[in-house]
Chains A and B, each alone.
Chain A
Amino acid sequence: MTPLQVTYSLFVGTGVVLLVASIIGWALKTAVAKGQPHATIDNLNTRIKAWWVMVLVVSLAFVFGRTGVILLFAFISFFALREFLTLTYTRSSDYFALAMAFFVVLPVQYVLVYAGWYGLFSIFIPVYVCLLLPILEVLAGDIMRFLERTSKIQWGLMICVYCISHVPALLTLDIPGYEDRNLLLIAFLVIVVQSSDVLQYVWGKLFGKHKVAPEVSPSKTVEGLIGGILSATALGAALWWITPFNPWQAALMALAINAMGFFGGLVMSAIKRDRGVKDWGHMIEGHGGMLDRLDSVVFAAPIFFHLTRYFWA
């Protein structure tokens, strides 16, 4: 299949899945809830609507190619960073560091990804920003909870800017035999990780009994986890034809990113619980904030990027 045919099949496939989901949601509302308000079913339908919007937005970005995708993820990083830093304790002395984070570090990271400068975009935040940030903070002269404030801003930049930027960074990889198809790698990552989320939720609702980490996340169950990850890995294997991998390689990659996705979700849940909030924000109706939707992708993206780069590029 030509790249164009592959892309079309992928979009048609996604559209069909969403349509089936919408029909199931409508059927549940009519048959089970009989049109009356019903917490779980209404939440499900709101989530499905949000999925339609997200798929449309991402598809639109794909139409605009490399620039569209990089811009999209730059905005996604912006919303995520805003949510993360809103929930961290900062003082008025952090103003300059925060302004640098939003208005310098974020754009620079994405410009580096756009330029494909791997040597710098892979270390800019973990090394340079990590060292420059505390220098800025110490020059502001406020030592109250100094290490806590600096670390939290650095962590916010790692999760919301560095990790998320590794999704569009997939476009910079030079994979022999797979030229001009890198957008499909992004599609593979996003579809597999998000399906893993959805499937864990579905399996959990249907068969969930033993909680995985009740202190951290009240809804994650062992049954949901295993059912979800295995079925999402199977889905990843089934999508091998949009990637440069063969089916069993696709399965292993999918397993790796699903595992990272699950643990990423768990870590972000722990941070939220410690802070006493249920969601990072309220941008996406039915899901919460931007970071709530992406908490699995953030841990999976850099690993997927580096594994692909190491073995295929």
Chain B
Amino acid sequence: MPTFDALCAYALCVFTRTLTGARMLWVGCAPAAIPRVYYGNHNAHADFALIWSCLPDDLRERTRPVAGADYWLKGKLRTFIAQRVIRAVLIDRNPETRKEDPIKQMADVIDQGDSLIVFPEGTRNTTEETLLPFKSGIYYLAHARPETEFVPVWIENARRVMPKGKLLPLPLLCTLTVGAPVTIGNGEDKEVFVARTRNALLALRPPQA
């Protein structure tokens, strides 16, 4: 008998995939049961739900989105969803008040054999720019766990489905393009690695008409 949490997770997957007809195109690699860090472009709250819902079932059970505790621990519903349904890794985004190092939190998850979903832009992109500059957290995580595969996932159309500030999602088609994994090179520079991961993600963007 599946737990209530599992049923809610299943319902969220079905809802997201039915509404957006989302397809995950594994262009650069195949699904694998190893700890990976999926990183994508961030345009809407729906982004983590899209990547998470489209992963194969066995991978999804071991994949945890990284999210801001300040937003997700507000209110009973959000806390329930973040902690019980999607099993998010909640980090404190404020460097002054935080008690735990977010990089250590994420590295611990990888040590346990689970995968992560991160959005290196740091915040939802509401500008006309295709992709905001990446924050350096992705480098520090790669430095802490150098064998980890960083898998780029380009999410197309999520901003139109759930524009900032709107609660009701629009049914529009989304596509997720999964590229080849990026691993940090021996002694690779921070700027070089961050640029490499950013370019790998940009390269997956479908050609615009």
B-contacting residues of A (Cβ < 8 Å)? 78-79, 82-83, 85-86, 90, 92, 95, 98-99, 102-103, 275-277, 281-283
Contact = CB atoms under 8 A, between A and B. Distances in A.
16 contacts: A82-B171, A82-B172, A82-B173, A83-B173, A86-B172, A90-B160, A92-B159, A92-B164, A95-B163, A98-B170, A99-B168, A99-B170, A276-B207, A281-B173, A282-B23, A283-B21
Contacts of A277: 209
Contacts of B163: 92, 95
A313 to B, nearest CB: 35
A86 B157 contact: yes
A82 B173 CA distance: 7
Given A82-B21, A282-B23, A275 B209 contact: yes
Main secondary structure of the interface of A (DSSP, over half): helix
B170 A95 contact: yes
Interface string B159-184: 11001101010111100000000000
Interface residues of B, number: 15
Nearest to B25: A282
Contacts of B172: 82, 85-86
A80 to B, nearest CB: 12
A280 to B, nearest CB: 9
Q: What 10 pairs between A and B have smallest CB-CB spacing?
A: A86-B173, A276-B209, A92-B163, A86-B172, A82-B171, A275-B209, A98-B170, A95-B163, A102-B171, A95-B166
A210 to B, nearest CB: 30
Interface of B: 21, 23, 157, 159-160, 163-164, 166, 168, 170-173, 207, 209
Nearest to A274: B209
A281 B21 contact: yes
Contacts of A103: 168
Contacts of B168: 99, 103
A102 B170 contact: yes
Contacts of A79: 21
A90 B21 CA distance: 19
B128 to A, nearest CB: 11
Contacts of A98: 170
Contacts of B160: 90
Contacts of B173: 82-83, 86, 281
B16 to A, nearest CB: 14
B171 A78 contact: yes
A186 to B, nearest CB: 26
A274 to B, nearest CB: 8
